[in-house]
Structure 1
């Protein structure tokens, strides 16, 4: 059994769910925050995990990712903080009557507000237990291409879709990234995280089935400075890449970087 303990937010979404499945099968202990625990359990059992594995390695916390107390309960168990946090939160697209912004989200601020809650939860945990900051967690978050400050990371044929039609959903991701970038720019002793890895995926395809991808080794990987540009990527492959490169390797060489992933 690994000594790494993982907290996952957004575990019922395809990317984070695949990371969760791979982690449980590998024997990692995972704490997952879910608004509907029965939904998450059903998803995992449907993918072939046994109840024994869930009972042994998974703790589901019923709550909301924008609620500081719920997030803190997810991050801390018996006074100990998790060592790795994965967030794959995102809203569901909703059409609206607007020529300029035809697509919004059912919860337009979920990514940015949940990151604020996460930082507040960590701060509260450190205040309650002064020894906790000696074991700060690593954070990996799932974002999107199309919001870069570097070279264009969206192929020409998708730029209208990304920069116009999906402007509202992507603004939430941009705010989330800005919050984390600003936080990590603080002096080291004031940071609540030991490191951050951003995972910007191209247009996500597929649903909840960790076996439905093409395999994480088939992906093209870049960084914000030198992006891998492509059209789509299966959700299960994003989750498997996170497991192989970030969970198993504790972030590896990606800590402090924004990674771009595409098929």
Structure 2
């Protein structure tokens, strides 16, 4: 599925878009004309790359993905939904690609709960928006689409990685995998309880740089694909082409992608 199949322009909030997978998806979403709101602890990482004069459809919000107030500020489009309404329109989608820095000396990440706490914060921010702007939202329930970048190696449906990489997945990445599982559990639980729509993307081992013209293989739910790796750029491209701006694609599904 390609970007030509996208529907109307969307408003998309990005958490963790200053590099890697998030940046790859953000860059393509902006080029396609979607309104993008990106949370960034150091805004210059994005504003230096994307000057406002050249990228008017990007709004950069300073803040941390573990700050409920900061995340809530990203959940509205920069302009009001109607000329008569003082309240901005809530976003259509949220993409979260936050993660920690791996520390080889300790075989862990700098924040072992970065994704879990990030999801708690995002869900709390959505609740805050629903609560604070209930009158403006009216009777129509705001149902944001949440897209998260997770990882292979945690599937309960069967092995989704080559046997040769078992030591990496089962030992070296044990701590971040626990964090990703906690994030996924929070998201799927909230989706069932509070009527969220979600897509969980599990790429195989992320690599750099990009390799042109590599075929991306896709597995869904209990039938994951098995592969050694995929670039961050291809992961972001796949998310853009298949999830961002498209209604219903892989809705409430777990998707594995690999070369």
Shared fold by TM > 0.5?
yes
Q: CA deviation digits over 1:232-255, x for unaligned, max 9?
A: 100000101111100132341x00
Whether the 8 Å contact between 2:72 and 2:129 is mirrored in structure 1 is yes
Deviation for aligned residue 1:112? 0.6
| Uncovered stretches (5+) of structure 1, i.e. residues with no partner | 97-101
Cα distance in 1, alignment partners of residues 168 and 124 from structure 2: 34
Deviation at 1:223, TM superposition (A): 1.5
* CA deviation map 1:93-134 (0-9, x unaligned): 0123xxxxx411112211110110111011111111225362
Whether the aligned pair in 2 keeps the contact of 1:199 and 1:260 (CA below 8 Å) is yes
- Count how many residue pairs are aligned between Structure 1 and Structure 2: 241
Task: Indicate yes or no: 2:145 matched with 1:143.
Answer: no
**Which residue of the partner structure matches residue 52 of structure 1?**
53
Is 1:126 the counterpart of 2:130? The answer is yes
Q: Does 1:92 align with 2:101?
A: yes
8 Å contact kept, 1:91–1:108: yes
Question: What residue is the counterpart of 1:261 in the other structure?
Answer: 257
Who is 1:36 aligned against?
42
Where do residues 61-76 of structure 1 align in structure 2 (5 Å cutoff)? 61-76=61-76
Q: Structure 1 runs of 4+ off > 4 angstroms?
A: none
Aligned residue in 1 for 2:82:
none
Q: Distance in 2 between matches of 1:40 and 1:235?
A: 17
Q: Helix, strand or coil for the counterpart of 2:257?
A: strand
CA contact (8 A) 2:152 2:204 kept: yes
Deviates most, 71-80 or 146-155: 71-80
- Partner Cα distance (1:11, 1:123) in 2: 23
Q: 1:40 to 1:168 in 2, by over 3 A?
A: same
Cα distance in 2 for residues equivalent to 1:94 and 1:74: 30
- What's the counterpart of residue 159 of structure 2? 152
Q: How far, CA to CA, are the matches of 2:46 and 2:21 in structure 1?
A: 13
Kindly state the Cα deviation for residue 160 of structure 1 after the two structures are TM-superposed: 1.2
Alignment of 1:165-204 (within 5 A): 165-186=172-193, 190-191=194-195, 193=196, 195-204=197-206
Mapped to 2, the partners of 1:179 and 1:59 lie a distance apart of 28
Partner of 1:7: 13
Contact 1:93 1:104 in 2 (8 A): yes
Retained in 1: the 8 A contact 2:9–2:33? no
Cα contact 2:72–2:126 (8 A) shared by 1 = yes
Query: Where is the helix percentage greater, Structure 1 or Structure 2?
Result: 1
Measured on the aligned residues, the alpha-carbon RMSD in Å equals 1.8
CA distance in 2, matches of 1:165, 1:230: 18
Q: Is the 8 A contact 1:197 1:251 kept in 2?
A: no
What is the TM-score when the length of structure 2 is the normalising length? 0.88
3-state SS in 2 of match to 1:80: strand
